[in-house]
Structure 1
Amino acid sequence: MTKWLILGVAILLEVTATLSLRGAIDNPWWAVLAVGGYAGAFVALSLLLRLGVPIGIVYGIWAAAGVVLTAVIASVIFGEPFTFLIGLGIAIVIAGVVLVETGHRSPKPARTEASS
């Protein structure tokens, strides 16, 4: 459970940082939040790797969730377009993460028959 919490924090920090970059267009002080958010996200990601979570899982979920949340929130906050193609792209990204995650699961060991 702790690993999922840390991953959630990393995702929220990255999304906050990315959205802050957009906000920095109008007010440069938002860049400070962007730098802090990215730094915190990378600290959280490195902690997950130290806890033994495979990098393909960590990065895949982090990046995909960041893309999805950033697109949705930017549409709501900044009025950026959210088209059918963006939605389709998000679906493809999610499908890709699911495939990567299921590919990391270790197969069950083959049973060996005892020699008689």
Structure 2
Amino acid sequence: MVYLLLALAIAGEVAATLSLKISDGFTKPWPVVVVVVGYLVAFTSLGFVLKLGMPIGVAYAIWCAFGIAAVAAAGVVLFGERLNPLMIGGLVLVVLGVVAIELGSASAG
């Protein structure tokens, strides 16, 4: 259940962040609604994840890393943004860092 809620938090954050770009400086009402609802879903879900006992460092690391990677990938697909090899390497390092945090958390607890 905790990982399902964490996935919901990530999905809400990604949808909200992508909608920030689409909102054109908060001038388009429907994307603004998605921003508000998406962040509400993200933070509420993340709060439940923490209430269920996931350590905050682990939860936040997973939430941030997968959100960063998903937004970067969506930026390429939806907005034609480019990623160079250094940027891709940075994304890989972020995800590997989260894996290390998760593994360290499992062996420490």
Same fold (TM over 0.5): yes
1:15 matched residue in structure 2: 14
Distance 1:10 1:65 in 2: 10
Percent identity of equivalent pairs: 40
Distance 1:53 1:42 in 2: 15
Misfit runs of 4+, over 6 Å:
none
2:72 matched residue in structure 1: 71
Q: Describe the SS at the equivalent of 1:105.
A: helix
Question: For each residue in 1:52-89, what CA deviation from the matched residue of structure 2 results, as whole angstroms up to 9, or x when unmatched?
Answer: 01111111101000000000011100111121112101
Instruction: Give the unaligned 5+ runs of structure 1.
Output: 109-116
Distance 2:91 2:18 in 1: 17
Aligned residue pairs total 107
User: Pairwise mapping of residues 14-93 of structure 1 onto structure 2 (< 5 A)?
Assistant: 14-25=13-24, 28-29=28-29, 30-93=31-94
1:113 matched residue in structure 2: none
Amino acid at match of 1:16: A
8 Å contact from structure 1 (residues 21, 31) kept in 2: yes
Amino acid at match of 1:60: A
Moved more, 76-85 or 41-50: 76-85
2:98 matched residue in structure 1: 97
Distance 2:108 2:15 in 1: 37
Distance 2:107 2:82 in 1: 40
Gap change, CA 1:107 and 1:59, over 3 Å in 2: closer
Q: CA RMSD in A?
A: 1.6
Distance 1:107 1:80 in 2: 40
Distance 2:107 2:92 in 1: 25
Amino acid at match of 2:74: I
Instruction: Give the unaligned 5+ runs of structure 2.
Output: none
Question: For each residue in 1:30-65, what CA deviation from the matched residue of structure 2 results, as whole angstroms up to 9, or x when unmatched?
Answer: 122111101110000000111001111111101000
